[in-house]
Every structure is written in C-alpha cells, then in structure tokens.
Amino acid sequence: MAKLVNLRQVRKDRARTDKRAKGDENAAKFGRSKAERDQEAARAEKARAHLDAHKRDPG
C-alpha cells in the first residue's frame, strides 16, 4: 500500500527549503556576520576618536 502524503505540507516544506537556499546564497554574496559588522563599527569609532583627539583648536 502506498504511503499517504499531505500535499499541502510537501509544498510548505519545498517552499521553506527554497527560501532557506535563497537566504544562504544571499548571505554568501552580500552578508557579513554580526561580529564582523560590530568589529568594523568599533574600528570606525576608534579611528574617528583618534582623529578628533589630534585636531588643532581653530582659535
């Protein structure tokens, strides 16, 4: 006897798999991890603070 298959669930599983694959593809193409973004922000803040510390007074 054949196994019963819920077609609605199969469609949802397929859509979920496709969406996950698309997200993984986009992450590889565009994404950076949160740690990398935080590290970049910290470097930018440190560079800005370093430049501000070395400014001359305009007066």
pLDDT reported for residue 28: 87
pLDDT reported for residue 56: 86
Name the DSSP letter for residue 2.
Answer: P
Per-residue pLDDT of 1-53, as tens digits, reads 889 999 999 999 999 999 999 999 998 888 888 899 999 999 999 999 999 99
Stated pTM of the model: 0.51
What's the CA gap between 16 and 14, in Å, rounded?
A: 5
SS3 content of the chain, % helix, strand, coil (to 5): 75, 0, 25
